[in-house]
Chains A and B, each alone.
Chain A
Amino acid sequence: QVQMVESGGGVVQPGGSLRLSCVASGFTLSSFGMHWVRQAPGKGLEWVAFIGFDGGSIHYAGFVKGRFTISRDNSKNTLYLQLNNLGTEDMAVYYCAKDLSYSRASPGYWGQGTLVTVSS
């Protein structure tokens, strides 16, 4: 059964950093691209970043502006998102999601999310 469990969220001051993790199970992480998607409180979904199955392809949303870094360690079945220089606008639930299939780069399966709160 495909499962992703996110962790690493918490309260951080403006300008601070956090590293989010997403541990995958029930499938071979090294075979699939992975996404991060976020949702601010009471707002819609916002796509954040993608990393290809081997880390060779990486894409970010425009608002990232060099502040976030997506990475993966397939040997640990883990996806990461390093968040730097956080602002109040980055406060959200961050979801990791697995590509639907080998040939379809759609976020097909989602974790339950981890909450990032930015507050002084």
Chain B
Amino acid sequence: AIQMTQSPSSLSASVGDRVTITCRASQGIGNDLGWYQQKPGKAPKLLIFAASRLQSGVPSRFSGSGSGTDFTLTISSLQPEDFATYYCLQDYIYPFTFGPGTEVEIK
């Protein structure tokens, strides 16, 4: 199975900061990568699919980039509602696999 890693595992940031989270696949996955946001006690929410395509209704401060093995999720200006855990998911080949998550905390 494809292994997914994320860095950092957690970060502290302030409202208005630019935040970048990276995800790496153990083998090439084209652009078959999604980013999810999860808040405590809630179901995950899809933010980005196909590495860079914004899901409907998601604020434009979220963006994704990358292809092959290296991917990035960027939040251009962190808002209070963005404090959450973020996961990447490869949907290139079954079994799909998630990254271990990045917790974004308030500084």
Question: What is the interface of chain A, defined by CB distance below 8 A to chain B?
Answer: 35, 37, 44-47, 50, 59-62, 95, 100, 104-113
**CB closest chain-A residue, reference B95:** A61
Contact-residue bracket for chain B: 20 to 34
Q: Mark B37-55, 1 if CB is under 8 A from A, else 0.
A: 0100011111001100001
Bound together, the chains give a CA A108 to CA B89 distance in angstroms of 11
B46-81 interface with A by 8 A CB criterion: 46, 49-50, 55
Q: Contact between B1 and A95 (Cβ–Cβ < 8 Å)?
A: no
Q: Contact between B95 and A112 (Cβ–Cβ < 8 Å)?
A: no
A23 to chain B, nearest CB (A): 15
Q: Contact between A60 and B101 (Cβ–Cβ < 8 Å)?
A: no
Residues in chain B near residue A46, CB distance under 8 A:
98
Q: Contact between A104 and B50 (Cβ–Cβ < 8 Å)?
A: yes
Q: Contact between B43 and A110 (Cβ–Cβ < 8 Å)?
A: yes
